[in-house]
Chains A and B, each alone.
Chain A
Amino acid sequence: MIHHELIVVGGGLAGLRAAVEARNAGIDVAILSQVWPGRSHSGAAQGGVNAALANHPESADDTWEKHAFDTVKGSDYLADQDAVAQMTKDAIPVIYQLDQWGCPFSRFDNGTIAQRPFGGAGYPRTCYGADKTGHYMLHTMVERAVKAEVPMYVEWFVTRLMVDEGVCRGVVAYDMIKGGFEAFTADAVIMATGGAGRTYSNSTNAIISTGYGMAMAYHAGVPLKDLEFVQFHPTGLLTTNILMTEGARGEGGYLLNGEGERFMQRYAPKAMELAPRDITSRSIQTEINEGRGIDGKGFVYLDLRHLGAEKILEKLPGIRDLAIHFEGVDPIEEPIPIVPSQHYSMGGIDTDMDGATDLAGFYAAGECACVSVHGGNRLGGNSLLETVVFGRRAGAAAAQHIRNSGPSPDMTVLAGRTVAAVEAQVGGLAARGAAGEDPYAVRAEMTTTMKDHFGVFRDAATMHAGLDKMLALKERVGNVGLRHTGGVLNLDMIRTVELEGMVDVALGIAAGALARTESRGSHSRTDYPDRDDTHWLKHTLAHYHPEGPRLGSKPVTLGMFEPQERKY
Chain B
Amino acid sequence: MPEARFRIKRWDPESDEAGAERYDEFTVPYDTSLTVLEGLFYVQERLDGSLSFRYCCRAAVCGSCAMYIDGRYRLACQTNVRHLTGDVITVEPLPHMPLVKDLACDMTDFFAKYEYIKPYLMRNSAPPEKEIPQSPKDRHKLDEPIDCILCGCCYSSCPSVWGEENYLGPHALLKAYRFEIDSRDQARRERLPRFDNERGAYRCHTITNCVEACPKELNPTEAIQWLKGAAVRRRILGRLK
Touch A–B, Cβ below 8 Å: yes
Residues of A within 8 A of B (CB): 35-36, 38-41, 43-44, 53, 95-97, 99-102, 104-113, 129-130, 132, 135-136, 139-140, 143-144, 146-147, 154, 177, 179, 206-208, 239-240, 242-243, 318, 321-322, 325-326, 440, 482-484, 486-492
Q: Given that A44-B57, A242-B59, A484-B49 are known contacts, is A102 also in contact with B134, CB under 8 Å in the complex?
A: no
For B136, the chain A residues whose CB sits under 8 A away are 106-109
A-B contact count (CB 8 A): 161
Tell me if B184 is interfacial: C-beta within 8 Å of chain A.
yes
> Are the C-beta atoms of B50 and A35 separated by less than 8 Å?
no
Residue picked from A39, A144, A206, A242, most chain B C-beta under 10 Å: A39
Binds A, one of B116-124, B153-161, B192-200, B218-226: B116-124
Top 7 nearest A-B pairs by Cβ distance? A102-B121, A111-B133, A483-B49, A484-B49, A489-B52, A143-B120, A492-B49
Residues of B within 8 A of A (CB): 12-15, 32-33, 44-46, 49-64, 78, 80, 100-102, 104, 106-107, 111, 115, 118-121, 123, 127-136, 139, 142-143, 146-147, 149-150, 179, 182, 184-185
User: Whole-angstrom distance between the alpha carbons of A159 and B220 in the complex?
Assistant: 39
19 new A-B contacts, CB < 8 A, other than A112-B131, A132-B146, A486-B101, are: A38-B62, A39-B64, A43-B61, A44-B57, A99-B131, A102-B120, A104-B146, A107-B136, A109-B136, A111-B133, A129-B146, A139-B146, A206-B57, A206-B62, A239-B33, A240-B58, A486-B14, A490-B50, A492-B49
> Are the C-beta atoms of A486 and B12 separated by less than 8 Å?
yes
> Are the C-beta atoms of A484 and B50 separated by less than 8 Å?
yes
CB nearest to B136 among chain A residues: A107
Q: Given that A111-B135, A491-B53 are known contacts, is A44 also in contact with B100, CB under 8 Å in the complex?
A: no
Give me 24 A-to-B residue pairs in the complex whose CB atoms sit less than 8 angstroms apart, sorted by A's number.
Answer: A35-B54, A36-B150, A95-B131, A96-B129, A97-B127, A100-B127, A101-B120, A107-B139, A108-B136, A111-B133, A129-B146, A132-B147, A135-B146, A135-B149, A146-B115, A177-B100, A206-B58, A206-B62, A321-B60, A326-B59, A482-B49, A486-B12, A486-B15, A486-B101
Q: How far is the CB of A44 from chain B (nearest CB, A)?
A: 5
Contact of A325 among B60, B101, B107, B184 (CB under 8 A): B60
User: Whole-angstrom distance between the alpha carbons of A370 and B55 in the complex?
Assistant: 27
For A129, the chain B residues whose CB sits under 8 A away are 146
User: Whole-angstrom distance between the alpha carbons of A147 and B53 in the complex?
Assistant: 30
CB nearest to A443 among chain B residues: B45
For B184, the chain A residues whose CB sits under 8 A away are 100, 102
User: Whole-angstrom distance between the alpha carbons of A104 and B145 in the complex?
Assistant: 11
User: Whole-angstrom distance between the alpha carbons of A100 and B127 in the complex?
Assistant: 7
Q: Given that A111-B135, A132-B147, A136-B146 are known contacts, is A488 also in contact with B62, CB under 8 Å in the complex?
A: no
> Are the C-beta atoms of B182 and A102 separated by less than 8 Å?
yes
> Are the C-beta atoms of A99 and B132 separated by less than 8 Å?
yes
> Are the C-beta atoms of B119 and A146 separated by less than 8 Å?
yes
User: Whole-angstrom distance between the alpha carbons of A269 and B111 in the complex?
Assistant: 51
User: Whole-angstrom distance between the alpha carbons of A179 and B107 in the complex?
Assistant: 17
User: Whole-angstrom distance between the alpha carbons of A132 and B216 in the complex?
Assistant: 13
User: Whole-angstrom distance between the alpha carbons of A321 and B147 in the complex?
Assistant: 12
Q: Given that A38-B63, A440-B45, A492-B49 are known contacts, is A100 also in contact with B131, CB under 8 Å in the complex?
A: yes
User: Whole-angstrom distance between the alpha carbons of A135 and B33 in the complex?
Assistant: 27
For B56, the chain A residues whose CB sits under 8 A away are 35, 39-41, 206-208
User: Whole-angstrom distance between the alpha carbons of A105 and B56 in the complex?
Assistant: 25
> Are the C-beta atoms of B146 and A492 separated by less than 8 Å?
no
Contact of B50 among A40, A101, A179, A492 (CB under 8 A): A492
Contact of A39 among B57, B101, B120 (CB under 8 A): B57
Residue picked from B33, B64, B121, most chain A C-beta under 10 Å: B121
> Are the C-beta atoms of A487 and B14 separated by less than 8 Å?
yes
Q: How far is the CB of A211 from chain B (nearest CB, A)?
A: 15
> Are the C-beta atoms of B142 and A104 separated by less than 8 Å?
yes
For A107, the chain B residues whose CB sits under 8 A away are 134-136, 139
Q: How far is the CB of B12 from chain A (nearest CB, A)?
A: 6
User: Whole-angstrom distance between the alpha carbons of A111 and B55 in the complex?
Assistant: 38
User: Whole-angstrom distance between the alpha carbons of A208 and B41 in the complex?
Assistant: 13
For B134, the chain A residues whose CB sits under 8 A away are 107, 111
CB nearest to B128 among chain A residues: A100
> Are the C-beta atoms of B146 and A143 separated by less than 8 Å?
no
For B147, the chain A residues whose CB sits under 8 A away are 132
For B44, the chain A residues whose CB sits under 8 A away are 491-492
User: Whole-angstrom distance between the alpha carbons of A326 and B132 in the complex?
Assistant: 37
For A99, the chain B residues whose CB sits under 8 A away are 131-132
> Are the C-beta atoms of A491 and B62 separated by less than 8 Å?
no
For A326, the chain B residues whose CB sits under 8 A away are 59-60, 78
User: Whole-angstrom distance between the alpha carbons of A112 and B182 in the complex?
Assistant: 15
For A239, the chain B residues whose CB sits under 8 A away are 32-33
CB nearest to A112 among chain B residues: B131
User: Whole-angstrom distance between the alpha carbons of A239 and B58 in the complex?
Assistant: 13
User: Whole-angstrom distance between the alpha carbons of A568 and B241 in the complex?
Assistant: 50
For A101, the chain B residues whose CB sits under 8 A away are 120-121
For B142, the chain A residues whose CB sits under 8 A away are 104
User: Whole-angstrom distance between the alpha carbons of A486 and B102 in the complex?
Assistant: 12
Q: How far is the CB of B176 from chain A (nearest CB, A)?
A: 12
Q: Given that A104-B142, A242-B59 are known contacts, is A488 also in contact with B13, CB under 8 Å in the complex?
A: yes
For B15, the chain A residues whose CB sits under 8 A away are 486
Q: How far is the CB of A235 from chain B (nearest CB, A)?
A: 14
CB nearest to A154 among chain B residues: B111
Q: How far is the CB of B63 from chain A (nearest CB, A)?
A: 6
User: Whole-angstrom distance between the alpha carbons of A130 and B51 in the complex?
Assistant: 37
> Are the C-beta atoms of B57 and A41 separated by less than 8 Å?
yes
Q: How far is the CB of B2 from chain A (nearest CB, A)?
A: 15
> Are the C-beta atoms of A100 and B123 separated by less than 8 Å?
yes
> Are the C-beta atoms of A488 and B61 separated by less than 8 Å?
no
User: Whole-angstrom distance between the alpha carbons of A237 and B135 in the complex?
Assistant: 34
Q: How far is the CB of A247 from chain B (nearest CB, A)?
A: 15
For B55, the chain A residues whose CB sits under 8 A away are 207-208
User: Whole-angstrom distance between the alpha carbons of A327 and B57 in the complex?
Assistant: 16
User: Whole-angstrom distance between the alpha carbons of A318 and B130 in the complex?
Assistant: 28
User: Whole-angstrom distance between the alpha carbons of A108 and B78 in the complex?
Assistant: 33
Q: Given that A102-B121, A104-B146 are known contacts, is A488 also in contact with B100, CB under 8 Å in the complex?
A: yes
Q: How far is the CB of A297 from chain B (nearest CB, A)?
A: 14
CB nearest to A113 among chain B residues: B131
Contact of A44 among B49, B59, B80, B185 (CB under 8 A): B59
CB nearest to A95 among chain B residues: B131
Q: Given that A104-B139, A488-B52, A489-B102 are known contacts, is A440 also in contact with B60, CB under 8 Å in the complex?
A: no
For B13, the chain A residues whose CB sits under 8 A away are 488
